[in-house]
Amino acid sequence: MAKFLGIGLSTSPYICAYSWSGGWGTRQSAPTTLPNSITNRARFIANRAILTANDSSPYLNAWAWSDSGFGSKYSDPSTIPGSTAASFVGFNKKTSSIAVTNNTSPRIYAYPWSNGFGTKHTDPAAAVGSNAQGLAFRNSDTNDAIVVGQSSTPYLKAYPWSSSGFGTAYSDPSTLPAAQCYGGEFAPSGNAVAMGSSATGVRLYVYAWSSSGFGSKYANPATVPAGASQYPQFSPKGDYLIVGHSTTPFVSVYPWSDSTGFGTKLSNPSTTNGANTRDNAVNSEDIALGQSPNGVVSPVAVFPWSSSGFGTRYAEPSTTVDSAKTATAWGVTWNWNEYTLTANQQSFSLTGIAANLTKASSGTAYTITASQGSFTLTGTDASFQTGKTITASEGSFALTGVSANLKTGKTITASHGSFALTGSDADLFWTVAGDSYSIAVDPGAFNVLASETQFHVDRSVFCENGTISVTG
């Protein structure tokens, strides 16, 4: 799937998007039906739609999305979320649910999503007590939750979440924030939740999280963000916490550990827009900042990102985000596939050029790797075993079989030539006798065709059980 950066703006067309490939690409055609007011947040969901939270009714908008860009606008929800500007929008992947915040009681509204808005969920029994300015969904195998930031004490409200909607509110954290909380996100592990804040001297609240709700507040970082923090976000692996804020350097990045909390703040980027950061979005390669206008450059700054920190800011796109340099980018969002493979006793298909995949939850990682080449893997069982790897170098390969339960020790290799191997038993081994190499199978017939029979170890495929066909 192609990669895109979506942007919510304070001026017409209020929403835009660019293709992305190591820098700004083509600006996509605007949707046929535009938002009718300021976009306060924009979010891609499940790579198939883009949502916006807006100032005017219907307050919540959605468009179909594909590699071709914006599709048709979805029908508005049958029950509009309140009667005041929507400030934030979020998505729960597990239950395919959307939530939006505003200042109309109960200040949090939620809808099931299935290629369109479903019937609004019942309001929570305990409403959010004041103006809601952000939310965070916990996406997990168990104990999903939603946390909402608000403008008066206790400044946070949290509920269990399921496909049925809101549960009974959790108890407030023992250490309350001291001021308005904004934005919010759970760590990928689900074991911590971060909220931005305007509280002087703190600016950022992060709490441990469990099935019981809020745990202890993590100690503040040694260097707190320099201004009100709008939207903290964890890196895809959960090893960094990124937060935009209202004063220079306008963004702060900290190493993160669920066990120990904040590490030492990383060096600042060499340059930003020099204006208040209203939103930020991070993927495995880049960080995007949505900012207030400064009259000089467009209100979006994007930087390459790695474990070493910020790289040099990308040059402006050829078609600028805002030619007048007067718009605020209130929302930035990536449409980006972050390494996912799931299957359980079902057939699956995986394709990609850089499929460095790992198991999403904590524990032992399951890995499929490929280098500098496309590949396709198909099978009836995706129950991968620890440490089992399929590799290819500088070329494409295809593997098919009745079982993808891979094991080590079975090797087929070739160098300087094509080969084909077929057989009724893929339990192959090879032996060394002097300078000669051989491939054997027992029992069953096989054929080997190659332009060179002096094989070398540089390509490996492992398989257990069933018929296999290998070409390459």
Q: Residues 253, 254, 257, 258: is their CA dihedral positive or negative?
A: negative
Tokens of 59: 């307050």
297 neighbors 264 (Cβ within 8 angstroms): no
Retrieve residue 142's tokens: 């168990």
Please choose, from the candidates 226, 234, 159, the residue with its C-alpha nearest in 3D space to the C-alpha of residue 195: 234
Among candidates 197, 294, 185, which has minimal Cα distance to 242?
185
pTM of the model: 0.73
**Distance separating alpha carbons of residues 445 and 72, to the nearest angstrom:** 56
Q: Tens-of-pLDDT digits for all 472 residues of the chain?
A: 689 999 999 999 999 999 999 999 999 999 999 999 999 999 999 768 999 999 999 999 999 999 999 999 999 999 999 999 999 999 999 999 999 999 999 999 999 999 999 999 999 999 999 999 999 999 887 889 999 999 999 999 999 999 999 999 999 999 999 999 998 999 999 999 999 999 999 999 999 999 999 999 999 999 999 889 988 999 999 999 999 999 999 999 999 999 999 999 999 998 877 789 999 999 989 999 999 988 888 899 999 988 888 999 999 999 999 988 899 999 999 997 654 444 444 444 554 433 334 333 433 334 444 444 444 554 433 443 333 344 444 444 455 443 444 433 334 444 444 445 544 344 444 344 333 334 444 444 445 443 333 333 333 444 444 444 544 4
Q: What is the DSSP string of 358-427?
A: --SSSSS---B--BSS-EEEEES---PPTT-----BSS-EEEEES-----SS------SS-EEEEES---
Q: Greatest CA separation found in the chain?
A: 83
| Residues shown for the chain | 472
> 3-state class of 444 per DSSP?
coil
